[in-house]
Structure 1
Amino acid sequence: AIVAQGGMYAGGTSYGERLKIVATPWSPPPWMKKPIPGVDKNNVSHASRMDGTATPECLKDGTGPESKYALSWANYFHSFLNAYKSHGIDIWAVTVQNAPVNVDAQWEGCAFSPSSEEEFIMHHLGPILRESYPDVNILVYDANREHAVEWMNYLWRDRNLDEKEENLGSDGDGDRINALDFMDGVAMQWYSDAKPSHMLDGALGTPNMHRVAEMAYFYQKRKEENMKKEEKEREKGLEEQETTKSYNLRHSSIDSTTTGIMDDNDSIMERMPILLDTEATHCSSTGYAIGDIDVSWYRAERNGHAILAQLAAGSNGWIEYNMVLDPIGGPNHVENFCDAPIVAVPHRAQSAVEFQLMPDFEHYQLKEGEVIMGEYETKFTLGSKMGYPPSYIDAGIVVQPMFYYTGHFSRYVRPGSTPLMALVGESPGGAMSRTFRPVGKTSPGGGNNNNAREGIEVTVWPCEGSTRQHWTMANEQLQTYRLNGYGEQLCVTLRDSVDVSLGGILLTDCKADDAASFTVVTEPKTDSDEADVVKFMTTKRRANECLGIEPLANGGGAYGPRGGAQAVLLPCDHESAIWHYSSKTGEVVSQYFSWDGPETNSGVCLTTGWPFLQAGAFDTSGTSAESDVVVVVLNESSDDANFVLATPTSGQRQPPSSLLKSSIPAHSVQTILL
């Protein structure tokens, strides 16, 4: 159950470029796995199937150096690579295990903990692959972003601070080896632990990508400093305390063919471990089967947002999990149906000779009363109603909006591109001017706030005057809402605690037990303050704790510090605990990141998730791209938006230099080539 999947690493593939293939194991054969409680009979020696997993680890006799099952499983990787190699296909990277923390999944699985995955790499997988396939990258983790920081804190820990024997292994010659010698990067997936809703998939965890990117930088820096220290000791002729076997450290500062240190002027960023988004898909069913343009377009916009946010945070690339699926989102043997940019409908092709709604290899059959809505529409109706080009339906495929949204990146942001600092900032029309709220108006624009739902992260972004930044103080709560399909208001508010895995405050139902209560403490205001200056002090937790801001790690990446910092609870004397709240506009504004004071209009607004209007910029010079710089602009709102594309000028108080003025329609994406 090792699957190979290709994706756009650092921007995309095709155009004659070499396809980078990532291979991911889902489950070892049953005879290698421990019996699964509640599934397998008592006193059996191994699991009866590949679906499911024992916990906390699945391999029969663990992952230690003497484990024959772990060794056999590592050899499976080797055989898999051999098989592809025999057909002239090179695998670029393998992940150690798909979703090692997803212990409740009904599909093929194998649980690992951070320590057991480290042991498996150190004693088995790492030495075997480095011996025969030194150019194949080994990516660790490969699960939801919620737990990435916890895992990488363990896997990238400083071994010099812990001299316990279990931190190091040894090869057959008695030489010491380190699991870090084999770890080339980190794989992460976009799903959310929140169940049963899939509406949070792709919406959570980007601040954790910032944290992992910062951890990767300091890990690489520490490794290079240690190597320089060792080099100096060798030059001085100092006696080495122990001999370390040399493996091919492709992402270290040491050239694998020499013992010299790379030029100190080389950027550490260029030698950091790989950070890769390896899996993203929308569940359940397909846009074609659901037959709702709002669902289909919402999924496309979520793709656009997630790709922009992850690349800005530090990810090196993106893999769309499914490219083509059948009409219901299969085939899938456990009925875990999901969506894809392209849906295969060969029975609708002009050349089709017989009607066969479901392919032969799809074991699932529609139940009584279950329908695929797209089957009841003509190709022309699907074109006008859903945006599916009729010409492609004539060819037997449905091309969904996701395909085009993702294409704005895979076509124009080519491999080798690097993110540039880019952020949709404040409107240039004055301190109270907003993108979606004209000067003199108080009602927010942008349309229905579909981010106002339980589990969404509360963040701060430049103010845009939209419903995603509109709050009402009622019943001692900061409340906002969205409209459901029946036009009813669904109220959400801030939780009364910081999420342990995600590091920030999430939204919850206004009637939930974990809803936060705040006392508004008024602070002195100046003549220039149009809104009240306040602190939001909690009443349900310990005293002197207020709503504040946790800055993003790695300086905010390509978005900078104002692009998505998290709302948290912290001591009320913290400088980020001061807010400007206007009951007229519903904005909760912070000047925490302002460098010249409020008059610069550089404040940030409390936001449900992220703003409607987003942008990302990429340096594509030296790649196969059609331009030197690519700017992708995404508008998720129901209103058109005007924008000015500008570059900063020297001098902090100098206005930016305008490149062009343009507009973007509601619910659309644009790519600008410079």
Structure 2
Amino acid sequence: MKNLKHYLSFLFILVLMGCNAKQNELPVDVYETSASGNKLTKITEFSAGNEAVTIQILPDEKYQTITGFGGSFTESSAYLLNQLSPKNRHLILDAYFGSDGAKYSLTRTHINSCDFSLSNYSYAPVAGDMALENFSIKEDQDDIIPMIKAAMELSEDGFKILSSPWTAPPWMKDNKDWKGGKLLPEYYDTWALFFSKYIDAYKSEGIDIWGLTVENEPLGNNSNWESMHYTPEEMVEFVSKHLGPKLKDHSHNVKILGYDQNRDELKEWADIMYKDEESAKYFDGMAIHWYASTYDYMPDVLQYTHDKAPNKLMIQSEACVDAEVPHWNDDAWYWKKEATDWGWDWAPDDQKYLHPKYVPVYRYARDIIGCLNNWVQGWVDWNMVLDTQGGPNWASNWCLAPVIVDPAKDEVYFTPMYYTLAHFSKYIRPGAVRIGFENSDDDLMMTAAQNPDGSIALVILNMKEEAKNMKISLGNRSVDVQINAQALQTVIIPV
């Protein structure tokens, strides 16, 4: 009898320990993309191991609110979609916007033509038309507008659109050319009216514009394709005296983002745009690009800009793997350190270190994580779809895109970059708040955010060639998981 009592007591303790262990186990869903072949694959079994990396989630440490993630509606992408079969066109759009896809929430498009257009065009082609009586978006009605509308039909939560001009019509510029030059002061008010008419025209198509950037790459692009130059002072003058008041008078509630070029000159622009209340009042924030470096996300510059104007937005408005022709059905290439960018060949010697060879997947994942951890609220990729040449592009400025198509064969290739972007866009939703964490291993890059529904998303990048064991803790609960070698993981802690 005594032995039976001991046995029952021991059994009770074991059951109690098991219950406590279960109560203290942190429930998670784990999704991984890896060089070994996972593509946003749900992982349910983990190998046992020692020396686990400890990751502590700190939800009480709150930072910026997330606007969203996504890609861009360009004429090139929209044109290519229209060359595909209805089945493949739907496949791609559903993969980007559908409830089972990447669920893009923040997008961009161009105002007038850009290099990823089929030709040069403007919505106001008639020289001297100061009142813009001949304004028309008919150039967008064959391709871009149908692509946006199809995406809207597939998106359950909707998405924001940020629109950017590459140039005003040549007749408004001092050099009368699509490339380079400046907006003539006598056309400042007409150009401001142009933005208002654009918003109205898209509204009449059932498309709301969330935000505008004043000018794509105001420092220029060496006149390789459409461009128009501003100094920071000129942009402030245009926005504070013309664009801002015009949009307000016409009751357009849209965001105005300044700059819209590389981070290396962001400090100068922040100093001038945010100099005082008068210069800053119509700007809702900054748009930034990553082309100044292939691997340095410039945290000091991002932190400086945030500190300068803590209540303003920072949106990464454009990024792509440039100076490359896409590799077709070759996933391994996107995990190799073979890609280069424009700076590999052209950067001055003192800037070569900013442009090394890189792994495309890492370039995307590192930059998004680095941006999020330094106050950036949104991150937008460039073209959603390109062909096997990396176009069409009238300036022969070939680039990569997450989805590559061969219209002649009606074939589609989802590159590993598509899955990389989906790790963020699908699981970190608009309105999420970035939260704190402690990570014991500097080899792992990570970020964390709490979604509006209360769930927590961790995105973790392992660039090493060996798997890593991790113990993830939230309060007094924890879970042991593993990330494969050369892998990106999203870990979801449900509500």
Task: Please classify the TM superposition score into its range, dividing by the shorter chain length.
Answer: 0.5 to 0.7
Aligned residues of 1:8 and 1:317 also touching (Cα < 8 A): no
Root-mean-square deviation (CA, aligned residues, Å) is: 2.5
Cα–Cα, structure 1 residues 24 and 668, in superposed 2: closer, same or farther, change >3 Å? Answer: same
Given candidates 154, 173, 183, the residue that maps to 1:59 is 183
Corresponding residue number in structure 1 for 2:463: 636
3-state SS of 2:309 partner: helix
2:304 aligned with 1:186, yes or no?
no
Residue pairs, 1:493-532, within 5 angstroms? none
2:237 aligned with 1:418, yes or no?
no
Corresponding residue number in structure 2 for 1:284: 323
Q: 1:211 corresponds to which letter in structure 2?
A: Y
Aligned residues of 2:297 and 2:371 also touching (Cα < 8 A): no
Q: What displacement does 1:202 show?
A: 5.1
Q: How many residues end up aligned between the 2 structures?
A: 328
Q: What displacement does 1:405 show?
A: 0.9
Corresponding residue number in structure 1 for 2:488: 669
Extract unaligned runs of 5+ from structure 2: 1-71, 75-96, 98-103, 108-150, 337-358
Q: How far apart, CA to CA, are the structure 1 residues paired with 2:455 and 2:426?
A: 14
Aligned residues of 1:23 and 1:94 also touching (Cα < 8 A): yes
Instruction: State the Cα deviation string for residues 443-479 of structure 1 (Å, max 9, x = none).
Output: xxxxxxxxxxxxxxxxxxx4xxxxxxxxxxxxxxxxx
Q: What displacement does 1:293 show?
A: 2.3
Given candidates 424, 432, 436, the residue that maps to 1:409 is 424
Q: How far apart, CA to CA, are the structure 1 residues paired with 2:218 and 2:401?
A: 24
2:478 aligned with 1:338, yes or no?
no
Corresponding residue number in structure 2 for 1:251: none
Instruction: State the Cα deviation string for residues 542-577 of structure 1 (Å, max 9, x = none).
Output: xxxxxxxxxxxxxxxxxxxxxxxxxxxxxxxxxxxx
Q: What displacement does 1:347 show?
A: 2.9
2:247 aligned with 1:143, yes or no?
no
Aligned residues of 1:287 and 1:400 also touching (Cα < 8 A): no
Q: What displacement does 1:307 show?
A: 0.9
Q: 2:288 corresponds to which letter in structure 1?
A: M
Q: How far apart, CA to CA, are the structure 2 residues paired with 1:69 and 1:18?
A: 35
Q: How far apart, CA to CA, are the structure 2 residues paired with 1:328 and 1:290?
A: 14
Q: What displacement does 1:296 show?
A: 5.2
Q: What displacement does 1:617 show?
A: 1.1
Corresponding residue number in structure 1 for 2:363: 302
Corresponding residue number in structure 2 for 1:69: 187
Q: 2:446 corresponds to which letter in structure 1?
A: A
Instruction: State the Cα deviation string for residues 150-169 of structure 1 (Å, max 9, x = none).
Output: 1111111136xxxxxxxxxx
Q: How far apart, CA to CA, are the structure 2 residues paired with 1:9 and 1:422?
A: 26
Cα–Cα, structure 1 residues 190 and 290, in superposed 2: closer, same or farther, change >3 Å? Answer: farther
Given candidates 50, 64, 88, the residue that maps to 2:178 is 50
Cα–Cα, structure 1 residues 133 and 304, in superposed 2: closer, same or farther, change >3 Å? Answer: farther
Corresponding residue number in structure 2 for 1:213: 306
Q: What displacement does 1:17 show?
A: 1.4
Q: 2:480 corresponds to which letter in structure 1?
A: K
Q: What displacement does 1:70 show?
A: 1.4
Q: How far apart, CA to CA, are the structure 2 residues paired with 1:15 and 1:292?
A: 28
2:445 aligned with 1:618, yes or no?
no
Percent identity reads 29
Aligned residues of 2:105 and 2:158 also touching (Cα < 8 A): no
Residue pairs, 1:568-587, within 5 angstroms? none
3-state SS of 1:321 partner: strand
Q: 1:334 corresponds to which letter in structure 2?
A: A
Q: How far apart, CA to CA, are the structure 2 residues paired with 1:617 and 1:204?
A: 18
Corresponding residue number in structure 1 for 2:312: 273
Aligned residues of 1:644 and 1:659 also touching (Cα < 8 A): yes
Q: 2:183 corresponds to which letter in structure 1?
A: L
Residue pairs, 1:466-485, within 5 angstroms? none
Aligned residues of 2:331 and 2:415 also touching (Cα < 8 A): no
Extract unaligned runs of 5+ from structure 1: 36-46, 61-66, 160-177, 193-199, 218-271, 350-395, 427-461, 463-610, 650-656
Q: What displacement does 1:286 show?
A: 3.8
Q: 2:391 corresponds to which letter in structure 1?
A: G
Q: How far apart, CA to CA, are the structure 1 residues paired with 2:361 and 2:238?
A: 38
Aligned residues of 1:4 and 1:22 also touching (Cα < 8 A): no
Q: What displacement does 1:123 show?
A: 1.6
Q: How far apart, CA to CA, are the structure 1 residues paired with 2:432 and 2:465?
A: 31
Instruction: State the Cα deviation string for residues 489-508 of structure 1 (Å, max 9, x = none).
Output: xxxxxxxxxxxxxxxxxxxx
Q: How far apart, CA to CA, are the structure 2 residues paired with 1:141 and 1:213?
A: 14
Q: How far apart, CA to CA, are the structure 1 residues paired with 2:73 and 2:188?
A: 21
Corresponding residue number in structure 2 for 1:527: none
Aligned residues of 1:9 and 1:316 also touching (Cα < 8 A): no
Cα–Cα, structure 1 residues 645 and 8, in superposed 2: closer, same or farther, change >3 Å? Answer: same
Cα–Cα, structure 1 residues 415 and 108, in superposed 2: closer, same or farther, change >3 Å? Answer: same
**TM-score of the superposed pair, with normalisation by structure 2:** 0.62
3-state SS of 1:319 partner: strand
2:479 aligned with 1:660, yes or no?
yes
Q: How far apart, CA to CA, are the structure 2 residues paired with 1:216 and 1:156?
A: 7
Q: What displacement does 1:133 show?
A: 3.8
Aligned residues of 1:621 and 1:629 also touching (Cα < 8 A): no
Q: How far apart, CA to CA, are the structure 2 residues paired with 1:86 and 1:333?
A: 29
Q: What displacement does 1:179 show?
A: 3.7
2:224 aligned with 1:106, yes or no?
yes
Q: What displacement does 1:105 show?
A: 4.0
Aligned residues of 1:631 and 1:672 also touching (Cα < 8 A): yes
Q: 2:465 corresponds to which letter in structure 1?
A: S
Cα–Cα, structure 1 residues 318 and 305, in superposed 2: closer, same or farther, change >3 Å? Answer: same
Given candidates 85, 90, 103, the residue that maps to 2:208 is 90
Q: What displacement does 1:134 show?
A: 3.2
Aligned residues of 1:191 and 1:202 also touching (Cα < 8 A): no
Q: What displacement does 1:658 show?
A: 5.8
Which of 1 and 2 has greater Rg? 1
3-state SS of 1:318 partner: strand
Aligned residues of 2:285 and 2:312 also touching (Cα < 8 A): yes
Corresponding residue number in structure 1 for 2:343: none
